[in-house]
Amino acid sequence: MHQDTTADSPAPARGAVAIIANRRGELLLHLRDDLPGVIAWPDHWSVLGGGCDPDEDPAAAIVRELDEEAGLAVDDLTELFEIRDEHGSGQVITFFAASWDGDETTLPLAEGVKLQFFAPEHLGILTIPPFVRDGIDRYLATRPT
């Protein structure tokens, strides 16, 4: 286990994201704002989610983030796995899966540029952070076909 050498330094930063699929098997992606130096992975397609608040567990964080970012509530969140964002924030990210069959263009997007469903076979052309791509690939590999 990693030990921090700074006296009042918090535990390693954590985050939570959700891979949301519709009944057609398309995945909901979020185009992040182009704000280099302000947000991790600017101008990249990602999944919805964000950092955990102090003393907040990932399951509570993803429910909060989905509501804050897109006014989205899902009732079938399933925890999948964790991946560290090695090349970005350094956070340990907990991935969740959920389903939602609404019209993404009607969601009240509070941050980022847009939300859009993509068929898995079209993800290769998108600019996606490596840890998110890894998470999506792991999710797709275990999903029933």
Break the chain into its structural domains and give their ranges.
Answer: 14-142
Distance from C-alpha of 83 to C-alpha of 91, rounded to nearest angstrom: 8
Phi and psi at 71, nearest 5°, equal 60, 30
pLDDT at 4: 42
> What is the torsional sign of CA 92, 125, 30, 43?
positive
DSSP secondary structure code for residue 104 in this structure: G
At 23-73, the pLDDT tens digits run: 999 999 999 999 999 888 999 999 999 999 999 999 999 999 999 999 999
DSSP secondary structure code for residue 124 in this structure: G
pLDDT at 145: 62
CATH of 14-142, one of 3.10.20.30, 3.40.640.10, 3.90.79.10, 3.40.47.10: 3.90.79.10
> What residues contact 23, with CB distance under 8 A and at least 6 apart?
99, 101
What is the rounded average pLDDT of the residues 115-130?
A: 96
